[in-house]
Amino acid sequence: GIMAQSIHGDPLDGSPERTVMTKPIVALVGRPNVGKSTFFNRLIGERRAIVEDMPGTTRDRIYGDTFWNGRDFTVVDTAGLLFGGDDPNLPVAEMSRRTREQANLAIEEADAVIFMVDGREGMTAADNEVADVLRGTSKPVVLAVNKCDSVERNLDAVEFYALNLGEPIPMSAFHSLGTGDVLDRLVEAFPPYQAPDDTERHLHIAIVGRPNVGKSSLLNKLLGQERSVVSAIPGTTRDSIDTEITFHGERVTLIDTAGIRRSGRIEQGIEKYSVMRTLRAIERCDVALLLIDAEEGITAQDTHIAGMVLDAKKGIAILVNKWDVIEKDNETFQEYEDQVRQAFKFIDYAPVLFISALSGQRVSRVIQLAQEIYDQRQKRVPTGELNNFLRQAVLDQPPMAVRKGAHLRLYYAVQPQIEPPVFLFFANDGDLVHWSYGRYLENRLRDRYGFGGTPIVIVFRSRE
Ligand code: GDP
Ligand code: GDP
C-alpha cells in the first residue's frame, strides 16, 4: 500500500506524541572492530534482498530490513555509509573526526541508535567521543556491549555505565547472546506506530539521486510550473517540507528528499549523499524519480539507489538530467538510451526520460509519467482473464522444471495484491519451477498488461 509518514511535534525532541507511519530507521554506530557488521549481518541475515545478486548493484550492503516483536525496521550500518568501510590504520585525529561525524549523522537521520562498544577491550577514547555526541540527543540510544561471549563476561558491560547513556546491555553478536535484550530495548523505544489514513491515499513522488544531479533544480522547476501548490506539509527531518500540488485534478505530494532546500547546511564534500534520507524518502513514496547526470554518466551510486527502490518494491522512472549540456548528433539519443538500459538492466521496466531541469525541456512530462506508473501499480488483472493468459502462456512454452523429467504442472493463477502487483501461480509442486520460467511469465505479463515502471512479484505455490 501507499506509505505515508507524519511526525507530530519536533521529531528531534522525542516528545511522546511523536508517531511514525513508516518503518523506523535504526543507525548502528561505534568505532571500528567492535562487531557492528557481524551484528548487522545477523540482523538482516536471510532477509537480504535479491538485489544483491544482481549485476550492476553493489554487493556491499550497508542497510537492510528486519523485524522484532512485530515491529519492522531498517538497520543502517553507519560505518559503511560514511567511510566506505573502516580503516583501522587512519591517524587518530582523522578517526576521531569521522567517528563524531558518524554519530552526528546517525542522530540527525535515524529514529533510534544502537551504540556498540567492545566489552573485551573495555572503554576507549573513541567510545567517549561517540558517547559525547549521543548524549546530546533525545532520540533513543541503546548501548550494546558486544563480545560478552559468556555469562561471566557480562560483567565487562558494567564499566560502560560511565558513558552515561543508560544501562549497558551485554551481548555477543558472534554467539547470538543477549541480542534479544538489545532488540527489546530498541523496539520499546520506537515511537508508536500509526496506520496510514486511507483517505489520504494519493501519489507520493520522491526525487532521488546523488548530489548535484539536479534534484533541487527539478523540484523547483516543477513547483515553478505548477501554480496550484496546495500546501506545505512538515516532513520528517527538522527542516524538510513536503509539498502537495494538484496536477490535472489529482493530488500529488512531492517528498522533500534531500532536505533539498537547505543547501550549505552540511559542509560541501562531506554530504556525499545520505543513505538514510534516501531510504526514508523511498519508503514513503509510490514512485521514485531517479535522476542521473547526463554529463557525468552513470555511476555505481546511481545503480545502487535504483537497487534501493527495487528493494522497496516502489515504482521508478529514470530521468537523465542536464540533457542540454550534451552535444548531440543523430545517434546520441539512441546511444545514450542504450547505455542507460544496459546499466539498469535489473529494472528493465523503468521508463527513461531525457530532461533538462535548467531549460525545462520535457519537465512538464515528469509528473504525468509518475502518475502513469502509479496507475500501473494499481492495475488488477481479473482472475478469469489471468487464467486465460496463463493457459496461453503455458501452451506457448510449457513450464520448465528445476530437474529434467520432473512432472510439473501449473494449475491456476491469482493476483492477490496491488502496489506492487503480486501474482501467485499454483503448481503441483511450487519448488519445482525453474526461476527462468518466472522470468518468462513476467515478460508475458508485461507484454500483455504493461506494468511499466513498477516491479511485479511472481510467486509459485504448491496447490494444497
Ligand atoms: P565492525 O568493524 O564494528 O563492523 O566489526 P566486525 O563485525 O568486523 O568485527 C570485528 C571483529 O570482532 C571480527 O573479527 C569479529 O569476528 C569479531 N567479533 C564480532 N562479534 C563478536 C563477538 O560477539 N564476540 C567475539 N569474541 N568476537 C566478535
Ligand atoms: P542536487 O544536489 O541534486 O539537488 O542538484 P542541484 O539541483 O543543486 O544542481 C546541481 C548543479 O547542477 C547546479 O549548479 C544546477 O544549476 C546544475 N543543473 C541542474 N540541472 C541542470 C540541467 O538540467 N542542466 C544543466 N546544465 N545544469 C543543471
CA 216 – CA 243 distance, rounded (Å): 13
Interval between CA 106 and ligand 1 midpoint (Å): 21
Interval between CA 318 and ligand 2 midpoint (Å): 16
At 324, list the grid cell.
542540454
Q: Tell me, what DSSP letter sits at residue 401?
A: B
**Does 41 count as an annotated binding residue?**
no
Model ipTM? 0.82
**Ligand 1 mutation target, pool 33, 87, 145, most atoms within 8 A of CB:** 33
Contact 148, 198 (CB under 8 A): no
The Cβ-side half-sphere exposure at 353, using a 13 Å CA radius, reads 22
**Ligand 1 mutation target, pool 38, 75, 95, 149, most atoms within 8 A of CB:** 38
Place of cell 512479484: 457
At 374, list the grid cell.
502509479
Which ligand 1 atom sits closest to the C-alpha of 116? 3
Largest CA distance in the chain: 74
Burial class (CB in 10 A: 0-12, 13-18, 19+), 262: middle
Tell me if 61 CB under 6 Å of ligand 1.
no
φ and ψ at 96, to 5 degrees? -65, -40
Buried b (16+ CB within 10 A) or exposed e, 55-87: ebbeeebbbbbbebeeeebbbbbbbbbbbeebe
User: How confident is the prediction along the chain (464 residues), in pLDDT tens digits per residue?
Assistant: 222 222 222 323 333 334 455 789 999 999 888 999 889 988 887 444 433 444 434 445 678 889 999 899 999 887 755 544 445 677 777 777 777 777 887 888 889 999 999 999 999 988 998 899 999 888 999 999 999 999 899 989 999 999 999 999 999 999 999 999 999 999 999 977 766 666 678 999 999 998 889 988 898 888 876 544 555 555 544 445 688 888 888 999 998 665 444 444 444 334 445 788 888 889 889 999 999 999 999 998 899 999 999 999 999 999 999 999 999 898 999 999 999 999 999 999 999 999 999 999 999 999 999 999 999 999 999 999 999 999 999 999 999 899 888 889 999 999 999 999 999 999 999 999 999 999 999 999 999 999 999 999 999 999 86
CA 330 – CA 286 distance, rounded (Å): 35
